[in-house]
A and B are shown apart, each in its own frame.
Chain A
Amino acid sequence: MTGRANGRGSRGARRAAAVVALTVLVPLLAGCAANNVAAPMCTPESSLPERLLVAQSIPDASLVPCIEVFPAGWNFGGMTVAAGETVFTLDNDRGGFDAMKVTMTPVCAIGDARPQQVQGDEIGTTKYVRPIETGGRILPATAFYRYPGACVTVEYRLAADAPSSLFAEAGTALSFLPRSEIVAETSERIGEILCGAEAPPCPG
């Protein structure tokens, strides 16, 4: 009798495990919102849809973050784009996955970040940096770029012992494209209006 009871128990356990597995799986699948969009490159020769989607995510943004170039050792991680937020990441062969995370939102809380002078491709933005001290070094953990209509947060998730040059490399990857350029490109290539800032009024 004991054997039978055990058999019943193990079968019950298997069924319970199967039910748990299924019940966990379905919510993960149903209505999943993750999306897989290619890198939003700044160059006009590259595909327009990615830049359009990023621009559409915050119609009031006067600038659109994009990737100028991939420095050696850097790769595109992935991008999710939605109304009100765009997030993309870059991986690094030394810094690991998602070594740099770029988030565009309508506003961002800069907290105690300090203002910093902007570079050439960051003109039109106000930059703030929140450094962290690690291993005796002060590193720019998070940078904020504020500009009319939106704010971009750049988080560096490099290992504590990552070479400082990686921060500089990451900085060269990110750039900003004036929305007016994408509006013009959309009009020229598609014959339609990219609604929002820097564009003629749209119906509705």
Chain B
Amino acid sequence: MDATEIGEGPADEHKRSIRSGQVRRRPSGEPPPLPRGKLGASGRLLVGLLLASVVAGVILAYAAGEVGATERFESSVIRAIAKLRTPWLTSIADGLHDLTDLWFIRLLGWSTMLVLIVFRRWRHLAVFVISILLLELATFQLQALLERPRPLGVTILSGWEGPSFPARGVATISVIAIGAIYALVPHGRWRFRAKSIAGAFIVLVSLAEIYLAVNHPSDVLTGALLGFVFAVGGFRIFAPSDIFPVSYGRGTSAHLDLGGERGEAIRMAVADGLGLQVVEVKPFGLAGSGGSSPMRLRVEGGSQPYLFAKLYATQHVRADRWYKTGRTIRYGALEDEKPFKSVRQLVEYEDYALRLMRDSGIPVATPYGVVEITPEREYMIVTELFEGAVEISEAEVDDRVIDDGLLLVRKLWEAGLAHRDIKPANLLVRDCRLQVIDVAFGQVRPSPWRQAVDLANMMLVLALYSDPDRVYERALQFFQPDEIAEAFAATYGMASPSQLRTEMKRDDRDLVARFRELAPTRPRISIQRWSLRRVGLTGIVVVSGLILLAMALAMVQRGVL
């Protein structure tokens, strides 16, 4: 049975559902399955805090020309609070104020970093560090711009440094505490509790600052808000929990939540868009998917009880953009590709790639189509599920499977296509036949280098679970020795997907070296190619790095440490 035959059932089923009127067009004005524009509680809080912060800054900037009114008002508030001063309250406030000193901030920052390093959570670490850096930059500039004196008309009871607005110690504690929570505490109830505790702590420190007359009320308010906004903003934009979850076990929290409103929306969208009744939505194959939220759908009434679906959201497009930018910088022209501009574009491309490969005789899952969850924000691609299929690493790799894999690459070459992500997780075996999945990275009319890499990666995967000599021998049925030599001259280091590299490292055999011995000798093909885009992007990264370094050095020069 070839791939086209596999796909005939579902396609017919879809046509039948259209004929029977089960597919429903959403009329104009009717909301989509999951309407957009609903900000979560923390989103609303974030927007509110941003606005409040901006308003406070503008008021103070305006008042800088005519400082009297603002200063008199805030001083009167501090004086009123100063009337409450008692020795025991002052010692408590002093203790809280001491927490804005370097030792506590360092301890908090270092501990967070240490945990992130131990758990190898590099993205969270980078976001954490950069949030702190940007906050320091913002508070530094605001202090220099406004140069607000410390509170007047009341005795200042504790130490301070620099202008009063915004309260830098409060801002730093806020960004580190909130950042640590977003970096270390899993999303959900525990994070909410941790945020509540951190919030209460920041409020207490802020009150202590006002009580001691070290800062004005607006200084601490703005400082706390800035810290919160930089931490939450940084993590929500660059390490959203949906895509980069904090998890300390083998949980299923690695992707978009498929329950609740979204679960209902998925059911509604599949019913309307494909005419199929979804009985169950279950996360599926999470380990092998980082760029989408994969799931298994149990459907009623169809010829196949289970379907496979991948949900794409704006976060996935953003992650794809960063991933491609990183690859452009690291490898240059060979991987110099434009990122997708929208979720719609991404999901349309995968659907197109599936259909193109299926039409070219590549054994891929039959696409059912794309359904809309939230216009321009969330789309889902639905395909056939390879029931009973196992990853190639768990299957017996005999000559039939080896031939299937090699023929698959031959067909890709003949169709002018490249898969670009051939690794064990993307090769499934069902009934002793090989199937390929995850074609989102596929490319039409790829470079010869990329095609050669596909062949080498396929041979490496096959050899991992069999024998390189046997794979080489079978490959000679489909490829010329020079073509195999080209494949292994092009493939080294990062040209192979990381999962394949990891598996090869675990293997005692040096498979690449063995294939190079078997194939005719050919000089290595350089991966590194330069393009204007690569030069530009690298320049931006280098300049940004130098700016960061200069800022750090400036802080050292000023005797901070």
Q: Which residues of chain A have a CB within 8 Å of any CB of chain B?
A: 1, 4, 7-8, 18-19, 22-38, 47-50, 52-53, 56, 59, 78, 80-84, 186, 189-195, 202-204
Known: A22-B129, A26-B109, A26-B110. A31 touches B160 (CB 8 A): no
Question: Is the C-beta of B376 less than 8 angstroms from some C-beta in chain A?
Answer: no
Instruction: List the B residue with the shortest CB-CB distance to A85.
Output: B161
* Residues from 103 to 149 in B contacting A, C-beta threshold 8 Å: 105-106, 109-110, 113, 117, 122, 125-126, 129, 132-133, 136, 140, 143-144, 147-149
Q: List 8 A-B contacts (CB under 8 A).
A: A23-B113, A26-B129, A27-B110, A28-B561, A32-B136, A35-B163, A36-B140, A49-B147
Give the size category of B's interface with A: 35 or more
B154 touches A35 (CB 8 A): no
B109 touches A34 (CB 8 A): no
Residues of A within 8 A of B109 (CB): 26-27, 30
Residues of A within 8 A of B505 (CB): 4, 8
B555 touches A32 (CB 8 A): yes
B510 contact from A4, A31, A59, A191, Cβ within 8 A: A4
* Residues from 34 to 73 in B contacting A, C-beta threshold 8 Å: 67-68, 71-72
Instruction: List the A residue with the shortest CB-CB distance to B141.
Output: A36
Known: A22-B125, A22-B129. A30 touches B552 (CB 8 A): no
Residues of B within 8 A of A37 (CB): 143-144, 147, 162-163
The CA-CA distance from A35 to B166 in the complex, in Å, is: 12
A30 touches B106 (CB 8 A): yes
Question: Is the C-beta of B213 less than 8 angstroms from some C-beta in chain A?
Answer: yes
Residues of B within 8 A of A186 (CB): 152
B162 contact from A27, A35, A84, Cβ within 8 A: A35
A31 touches B169 (CB 8 A): yes
A7 touches B68 (CB 8 A): no
The CA-CA distance from A192 to B106 in the complex, in Å, is: 37
The CA-CA distance from A4 to B512 in the complex, in Å, is: 10
A27 contact from B149, B163, B554, B561, Cβ within 8 A: B561
The CA-CA distance from A59 to B173 in the complex, in Å, is: 28
A28 touches B72 (CB 8 A): no
Residues of A within 8 A of B160 (CB): 82-83
Known: A31-B101, A53-B163. A189 touches B133 (CB 8 A): no
The CA-CA distance from A82 to B560 in the complex, in Å, is: 12
A203 contact from B101, B150, B154, B158, Cβ within 8 A: B154
The CA-CA distance from A82 to B67 in the complex, in Å, is: 21
Residues of B within 8 A of A29 (CB): 129, 132-133, 136, 551-552, 555
B129 touches A192 (CB 8 A): no
Instruction: List the B residue with the shortest CB-CB distance to A54.
Output: B149
Residues of A within 8 A of B328 (CB): none
B67 touches A189 (CB 8 A): yes
The CA-CA distance from A1 to B161 in the complex, in Å, is: 57
Known: A56-B156, A204-B154. A28 touches B556 (CB 8 A): yes
A33 touches B156 (CB 8 A): no
Task: State the Cβ distance, A196 to closest chain B Cβ, in Å.
Answer: 9
Question: Is the C-beta of B407 less than 8 angstroms from some C-beta in chain A?
Answer: no
B153 touches A28 (CB 8 A): no
B554 touches A202 (CB 8 A): no
B558 touches A53 (CB 8 A): no
Residues of B within 8 A of A38 (CB): 144, 147
B147 contact from A25, A50, A59, A195, Cβ within 8 A: A50
B150 touches A56 (CB 8 A): yes
Task: State the Cβ distance, A171 to closest chain B Cβ, in Å.
Answer: 26
A195 touches B152 (CB 8 A): yes
Name the residue among B68, B126, B558 with the largest chain A CB count within 10 angstroms. B558
The CA-CA distance from A109 to B510 in the complex, in Å, is: 71
A30 touches B152 (CB 8 A): no
B82 contact from A26, A34, A190, A204, Cβ within 8 A: A204
A31 touches B102 (CB 8 A): yes
B163 touches A30 (CB 8 A): no
The CA-CA distance from A204 to B90 in the complex, in Å, is: 11
Question: Is the C-beta of B474 less than 8 angstroms from some C-beta in chain A?
Answer: no
Task: State the Cβ distance, A7 to closest chain B Cβ, in Å.
Answer: 7
Known: A32-B136, A53-B163, A82-B161. A189 touches B148 (CB 8 A): no
Instruction: List the B residue with the shortest CB-CB distance to A202.
Output: B155
Question: Is the C-beta of B374 less than 8 angstroms from some C-beta in chain A?
Answer: no
10 A-B pairs with least C-beta separation: A35-B162, A34-B558, A31-B105, A192-B152, A82-B161, A52-B149, A204-B155, A204-B82, A36-B144, A49-B147
A25 contact from B133, B154, B172, B176, Cβ within 8 A: B133
B72 touches A191 (CB 8 A): yes
The CA-CA distance from A194 to B71 in the complex, in Å, is: 12
Residues of B within 8 A of A4 (CB): 505, 510
B554 contact from A25, A34, A50, A81, Cβ within 8 A: A34
Residues of A within 8 A of B556 (CB): 28
Question: Is the C-beta of B75 less than 8 angstroms from some C-beta in chain A?
Answer: yes
The CA-CA distance from A80 to B144 in the complex, in Å, is: 11
Residues of B within 8 A of A32 (CB): 136, 140, 172, 555, 558, 560
A204 touches B157 (CB 8 A): yes
Task: State the Cβ distance, B131 to closest chain A Cβ, in Å.
Answer: 10
Residues of B within 8 A of A191 (CB): 68, 71-72
Q: A29-B551, A31-B100, A80-B162 are in contact. List 11 more A-B contacts (CB 8 A).
A: A22-B113, A26-B113, A28-B560, A31-B105, A32-B555, A35-B140, A36-B143, A82-B162, A190-B71, A190-B152, A202-B154
Name the residue among B85, B106, B156 with the largest chain A CB count within 10 angstroms. B156
Name the residue among A8, A27, A28, A81 with the largest chain B CB count within 10 angstroms. A28
B552 touches A204 (CB 8 A): no
A193 touches B153 (CB 8 A): yes
B159 contact from A1, A48, A83, Cβ within 8 A: A83
B105 touches A30 (CB 8 A): yes
Instruction: List the A residue with the shortest CB-CB distance to B549.
Output: A25
The CA-CA distance from A29 to B133 in the complex, in Å, is: 6
Instruction: List the B residue with the shortest CB-CB distance to A19.
Output: B117
A84 touches B555 (CB 8 A): no
Question: Is the C-beta of B27 less than 8 angstroms from some C-beta in chain A?
Answer: no
The CA-CA distance from A203 to B551 in the complex, in Å, is: 40
Instruction: List the B residue with the shortest CB-CB distance to A201.
Output: B155
Task: State the Cβ distance, B485 to closest chain A Cβ, in Å.
Answer: 18
Residues of B within 8 A of A31 (CB): 100-102, 105-106, 169, 172
The CA-CA distance from A18 to B123 in the complex, in Å, is: 12
Known: A28-B560, A33-B102, A82-B162. A195 touches B83 (CB 8 A): no
